[in-house]
Every structure is written in C-alpha cells, then in structure tokens.
Amino acid sequence: MIRSFQTVRPAALLSIALSAGLLFGCSQASETAGTSNGSSANTAASGSASAGKTVTFWHDKTGVAGEAITAAANAFQADHPEIKLNVVYVADLTVGGGQKLLSAVAGGTAPDAVFFDRFQIASWADQGALVDVTDRVSADKLDKNRFYPAAWNEVVYKDRVYGLPVSTDGRVLYYNKDHFKEAGLDPEKPPATIKELEEDAAKLTVKDGGTYKRFGLIPWSTQGNFYTWGWVFGGDFYNTETGEVTANNPKNVEALQWLQQFANKYDISAMQSLSDASKVNPFAAGVTSMVIGNNLTSAQIRDANPKLDFGVTAIPTPSGQNNVTWSGGYSVVIPKGAKNPDGAWELLKYFTGDKAQEELAKAYLSVVHSVNEKVFKDDPINTRILSVLNDARWRPVIPQGQLLWNELQSAMDLAVNNKGNPQELLDGVTDKVNAALKGS
C-alpha cells in the first residue's frame, strides 16, 4: 500500500537531535560556567553576597552616546576602585515602553542604577518605583543651582528628588543656507516671526509638475512636536496651582490652528511621507530647507551630509520676540529593588561631576553651564542653543506625562490631516488627561 518514503526518517532526526544536543550542550555548559563566574549582572540580579560592593548600571545607548557613557563610567571606576562597576548595555531600555526595566523591577531583578529619560521620572516615582534621594542630596550638600532649571525640575516630583540630571538638549530652527540663496533669501537673515517663517517656507518650496521636490518647512517634523509650537505661540500646558493640564490654553489652540492652516496650503500626504517616517532626516537629506531640531540634529547632519551649509536661529514666534525653547534629557536614577543604593548614589553624583560631564558632552549638552562653556566655546551651533537654554521650558512633571505627550501628538496628527477642529481636539486632550490624573 505504501510505496515509498523519500522523507527524512524520525530515527535520523533523533540522531541529529542527539548529536546536536551533545555538541551544543557542551558549549552551553561552558557558556553558563563563564557567565556565572565572570558576569556580575547575574550575580547582582540573583542577590549574591558580593552585591554590596558591585554597582550594576544599565544604559541603552549605542554609537557616540554609548561611548560617552562608557567613558564616564570608566572614569568613575578609576576614581572609585573600592566599587566594582558593572556597565551593561541593554538593547532597549526606555524607548517605546521600557519593558525591560518594567519587567526587571516587577520581577525583582532591577539593576542598581539606570540611565533614564527624565521625562519618565514623575510616573515612575508616583508608582514608588524609584529610590528617593532627597536626603542624600541634602546630606552631600549638592547644589541644585549647578544645573539648568529645566534639567533639575524634571527630577523633582512632589518636592522629592528621584535622580540626578546628567544631560540636556534644546530646540532651535535649522535652515539650509544654500537653499536660502537659491530662493533669493538672505542666508544671514533667517525668519524671526511666524509670518516670515511661513513666507520663507513658501519661497523655499520647490514643486515640479504635480510633485513636491522640496518643502520649505514641515513644521511637525523632527523636533517640531506640539510642545514646541504651543510654547512658541505663548501657550502653556499645566497649571501648577490647580494641578490641572491646560492643553486647550487659547495660545495652544492658536498654534494648532496655524499648523492646520499650514498643512492645508500643501499636500499633506507628501509632507507626511517626508517627515520622520522616512527613516532619514529630511533636512540632512536636503528635502526640507528648514526644520526644528536640537543639538543632536547637527551631529545627524555631520554623519549624513557633512557638506551641508546650515545655520541655526531661535524658533520664530508670532511677535518675533520672547523666543522660547524647551529641554528634555537624561538622568541617572536608582530603581526600587537596587541591591546597592549606596554605591549607586556614588555613581549618580559622579555623573554630575565635571569629569563625567565633559565625557557626556561629547554626545549631549551638559547639564552644567561651566562645562558647556568650556566644551562648546568654538561651536557656534551649540553656543546658539546654549544661549536660550537657561530659560528653557520643561514638560509638566506629572504621572500622566506620557499620556499627555501622546495625546498632544495625536491631536496634532489629526489636525494637520483635517480630522478635527483644533479647539475641540485640545479640549478633548485636556479632559482625557485631567480625568486620568484624577484617577491615578
């Protein structure tokens, strides 16, 4: 009945399985042995006796930032031989969810210190997931005036300190000088008012037949998030007295109306495909002539298109005065469940010191004025950004910060696609986030 089996026989499969099992079983055994001896990530995680002296520090940065963090950590190790510092690169820590850190804290395998987006501090502190370092700050007489206000204020939630700021950034308008010349604009006279910005953008836009070859400006691209535009138009997002979100501040509504009207002048689908989703910075590639960027943008341009001749200026405002920017950045925190908070605290302090800050300034802006002045004295771009940094705004330090951010971005996405009226959209954001704040 059965004519032939031209297939692999189970017995053959099993013998492959066994031999492979033996082969890899051995290599795995040696692997396991190697890690249990050599790696303190495991030993710290499982809480062995050596944990008291080891500090396990997680970060998720690669490239220049990864090198800067490693250099700062190495400097710490050299100055603190009594502590065994174990720096672990974690592939994805906080970007888009931070499942790694969440599961580690929930499971009890948290490290001692983490390179942590300051933006998340309020919600994590509210959940009791960060170690309160207020008393350590006062015991060691750390001076908060050492830091930019925007950087310091983001580590303080309900008057308690939950980490130390270690890097910062700031937003400005980048513009392509060659494009300015082509369009007959003065490359030394970038737009100062929103009206000029709009006019220059129109002049810089190149349309060939039915398709756009270049956009003067895609306002929401790169760092042009809704926080940027709301503040630029004079709006605000939070009332510290009432503890309520004010996303529908009249000036914010004006900003969103302007964005909607700007989008309507052009082909929104073409603009959309050229903004962040293109996986390439559109300004660096020369397909937009102006962009809201931060200090990282110039590094990006250097990597992608070093020949690009660009300038930076404060983001234009409706009046041309009261320029405003905002800052975010990183901190180092001690998560709940850390085995060695004392050692971790030494690391936190060290990261705010001059030596570590100079290392970190190779990738970011320092949180310390004097360090920036020293490192960036010959850097006109960063000097321009630094000039507005002292008055930089910071996002509301509230447990629902992520929700507010996403809701604002989504309101902007809907508005520029003509899926809603700016006033109603921002009313919706306000109601939703305030309800969530009451609930949490």
Site for other proteins in 117-156 (CB under 8 A): 123-124, 127-129
Binding part of the chain for other proteins, among 73-81, 103-111, 136-144, 319-327 by CB under 8 A, reads: 103-111
CB of 433 to other proteins, least distance (A): 11
Q: Does 300 bind other proteins (CB under 8 A)?
A: yes
Give whichever of 92 and 354 is closer to other proteins, judged by the CB atom.
92
Q: Does 309 bind other proteins (CB under 8 A)?
A: no
Give whichever of 336 and 374 is closer to other proteins, judged by the CB atom.
336
CB of 200 to other proteins, least distance (A): 20
Give whichever of 3 and 377 is closer to other proteins, judged by the CB atom.
3
Query: In the numeric block, which tokens belong to residue 428?
Result: 């919706």
Burial of 128 (0-12, 13-18, 19+ CB in 10 A): exposed
Query: In the numeric block, which tokens belong to residue 288?
Result: 């937009």
Query: What region does 395 belong to: left with phi over 0, alpha with psi -120 to 50, or beta?
Result: beta
The residue among 78, 174, 77, 146 whose CA lies nearest residue 372 is 146
| AA identity, residue 14 | L
Q: Does 78 bind other proteins (CB under 8 A)?
A: no
Q: Does 398 bind other proteins (CB under 8 A)?
A: no
**d(Cα 68, Cα 75) in Å, to the nearest integer?**
11
Q: Does 287 bind other proteins (CB under 8 A)?
A: yes
Cβ neighbours of residue 278 under 8 Å, at least 6 residues apart?
Answer: none
The residue among 328, 337, 327 whose CA lies nearest residue 124 is 337
Binding part of the chain for other proteins, among 102-110, 131-139, 177-185, 246-254 by CB under 8 A, reads: 102-110
Give whichever of 71 and 299 is closer to other proteins, judged by the CB atom.
299
Q: Does 98 bind other proteins (CB under 8 A)?
A: yes
Torsion sign across C-alpha atoms 166, 233, 323, 282: positive
Among 193, 285, 318, 379, binds other proteins (CB under 8 A): 285
**d(Cα 52, Cα 126) in Å, to the nearest integer?**
27
Give whichever of 108 and 250 is closer to other proteins, judged by the CB atom.
108
User: Which x/- pattern, by CB under 8 A, does the window 12-41 give for other proteins?
Assistant: -x---x--xx--x--xx--xx-xx--xx-x
Q: What are phi and psi of 272, to 5 degrees?
A: -60, -45
CB of 138 to other proteins, least distance (A): 26
As a dihedral over the C-alpha atoms of residue 405, residue 118, residue 160, residue 335, rounded to 10 degrees, the angle is 110
Among 269, 321, 377, 380, binds other proteins (CB under 8 A): 269
Helix spans in 39-92 (H)? 40-45, 63-79
Q: Does 91 bind other proteins (CB under 8 A)?
A: yes
Give whichever of 60 and 324 is closer to other proteins, judged by the CB atom.
60
CB of 275 to other proteins, least distance (A): 9
**d(Cα 45, Cα 49) in Å, to the nearest integer?**
11
Q: Does 421 bind other proteins (CB under 8 A)?
A: no
Q: Does 321 bind other proteins (CB under 8 A)?
A: no
Map tokens 């350590």 to a residue.
136
CB 175 within 8 A of CB 301: no
Q: Does 286 bind other proteins (CB under 8 A)?
A: yes
Q: Does 92 bind other proteins (CB under 8 A)?
A: yes
Q: What are phi and psi of 396, to 5 degrees?
A: -50, 135
CB of 169 to other proteins, least distance (A): 10
Among 80, 84, 100, 160, binds other proteins (CB under 8 A): 100
Among 77, 410, 421, 423, binds other proteins (CB under 8 A): 410
Strands 113-117 and 54-59, sheet pairing: parallel
**d(Cα 248, Cα 431) in Å, to the nearest integer?**
9
Q: Does 268 bind other proteins (CB under 8 A)?
A: yes
